[in-house]
Amino acid sequence: MGVGVEVAHDSELTEEDRIILDSLEGFLSDGKALKAWWQNAHTDNSFEERFDLVHTLHRSENSFGVFGEVQLDRGPFAAMGVLDEVFYDRPKGQGQATGELAAWMCEQVKEFVLHYFMRTSDFRLPQKIVAPEGSDPPGFLKPFSMKPKEEVERKGMGFTQMYYKRCDTGEIGKFPEEGSSAILDLREIGTTYDWVVVKLRVFDFSVTMKPLGPDLPHVSMPLKEESYLVLTPEFITNVDNPEPGVLGEYGFGYAFVKNPHRGPFAYGPGEFEAAFQTINFKVMETGETRVFMTFVSDQPEKIMNLNIDPVNWSFSLADMMSFGMTSRVFKPIKHLLDEMPLKAENVDPTIPALNFLNSVTGGQAGEMLDMRKETLYKGFLTQHSMQHYQTLLGSLRTWRQIPDWLDAEALPDWVVSGESS
């Protein structure tokens, strides 16, 4: 295998497992390089372009995005990123927290972030109760039935652990499917494991296309977005007293691994050419906790992977109108048309269309209407910020629900197992 080490229970690995494991080194190397670039450019404020991104009313929070170029092993790489600083929580009491209370808060945050956050980062919204009354209607009547159905709506991000590499033996293995939502204590990465791969499911993720402007009809497409992530010691933060005024900084991060199967979109979770994410919690001497979320990825050359097939589209529509008769009657003609060069695979009309409009208008489409690829990029970064902000809000309810995160015996089963259903 490409990873060059022994794989435990190789016979249990699927073809997709092997593709992912063989690609880890490259994506991990790129993720580390992007992280180093970000840290240096942030320290020196040397980004090629920096811009405000998200504004939160009446809260001491800020966000900014950047464009820049990174030198990777494979050559120059056009990157973009965003840093979100978010207030999380503070102890409630008379005036500022005492030193003892702030220290207690610090230990609680450390345990929550490094041990349980990834188990509880997705959540379910309240849902109506569906009583099992009466019998189900026949299949052909179900579309017309008003009988309530159970609707489970999830938010946030869900993680399941997939693969590991042990520090002591170099062995690579696959975590059991049972209990995969009980993400390991992240302090084991670097001591027990060299790296761990998890699968991320982004819930309630949709892409909205507004080709005619923000106030005109648009299309919103809900997507089942999944991605593989590799966590290493370089992405885990577990530091006490890192700087004056800060009691502790704790967090995690990962490099993204591209999905082995191509989807309809060429950019987004699972489709990044290279990317990393970090989520770090800082506990101040006052007990106040703030979260710093950094995300950096490629500036995509393509947005969509459309397969253009006018023949099958036309016959499918005609079959709907003729109850399947069209394909049967005109089968020889359809076979003849299928042989003609009318198909096109992995077509992206988005960026080429924007470039064409700016070319024929002498750049006025971009100047007057903001119709340029950089506007799309900023929209992607904003959507990323919103998704993680929502995840933090959901996790805050879980964080406050548990009186003592260090009392493992008293934690509810859904926290320990990571199963929110």
pLDDT of residue 410: 95
Tens-digit pLDDT string for the chain (421 aa): 334 344 555 547 888 899 999 999 999 999 999 999 999 999 998 999 999 887 665 455 788 999 999 998 888 999 999 999 999 998 876 555 578 889 999 999 999 999 999 998 865 555 555 555 666 667 656 666 666 565 545 556 789 999 999 999 999 999 999 999 999 999 999 999 999 999 988 766 555 555 445 555 544 444 556 789 999 999 999 999 999 999 999 999 999 998 877 666 656 666 888 999 999 999 999 899 999 999 999 998 776 655 555 545 454 655 555 555 555 555 665 566 456 554 545 556 677 677 777 777 877 777 777 677 888 888 888 888 888 888 888 899 899 999 999 999 999 999 999 886 5
CA distances from 312 to 200, 322, 326, 337 (A): 34, 15, 11, 10
pLDDT for position 323: 55
Q: What SS3 class is residue 414?
A: helix
Kindly state the tokens that stand for 215: 């106030």
Q: Which amino acid is at 170?
A: G
Would you say how long the chain is, in residues? Answer: 421
**Residue 123: partners with Cβ closer than 8 Å, 6 or more residues away:** 154, 155, 156, 394, 395, 397, 398, 420
Helices (H), 4-98: 15-44
Distance between CA atoms of residues 25 and 3, nearest Å: 7
Residue from 106, 107, 73 nearest 290 by CA: 106
Nearest to 387 by CA among 58, 112, 121, 126: 121
Q: For residue 387, what are its two tokens?
A: 């998704």
Question: Does this model's pTM top 0.75?
Answer: yes
How many other CB atoms are found less than 10 A from the CB of residue 15?
8
pLDDT of residue 334: 52
| Distant-in-sequence, close-in-space partners of 337: CB < 8 Å, separation ≥ 6 | 311
Return the closest-CA partner of residue 308 out of 336, 266, 335, 347.
Answer: 347
Close Cβ partners of 213 (under 8 Å, ≥ 6 residues apart): none
Task: Kindly provide the b/e burial profile for residues 141-167, where b requires at least 16 CB atoms within 10 angstroms of the residue's own CB.
Answer: eeeeeeeeeeeeebbbbbbbbbbbbbb
What pLDDT score was predicted for residue 91?
86
Can you say whether residue 241 is alpha, beta or left, with left for phi > 0 and alpha for psi between -120 and 50 degrees? left
User: What's the confidence (pLDDT) of residue 3?
Assistant: 41
pLDDT at 349: 66
Domains by residue range for the chain, with CATH: 10-124+154-301 (3.30.530)
Biggest distance spanned by C-alpha atoms of the chain: 83
CB 175 within 8 A of CB 197: no
Strand 193-209 and strand 172-174: the pairing is unpaired
371's tokens? 């119709």
Q: Chain centroid to CA 251: how far?
A: 16
Report the pLDDT value the prediction gives residue 271, as an integer from 0 to 100: 80
Q: Are 99 and 289 in contact (CB under 8 A)?
A: no
Model pLDDT, residue 315: 42
Alpha-carbon distance values, 163 to 196, 198, 231, 244, 279 (Å): 6, 7, 11, 38, 21
Task: For residue 222, give the nearest of 208, 206, 209 by alpha carbon.
Answer: 206
pLDDT at 2: 39
CA-CA distance, 226 to 259, in Å (whole number)? Answer: 8
Q: Report the C-alpha gap between 199 and 186 in whole angstroms.
A: 15
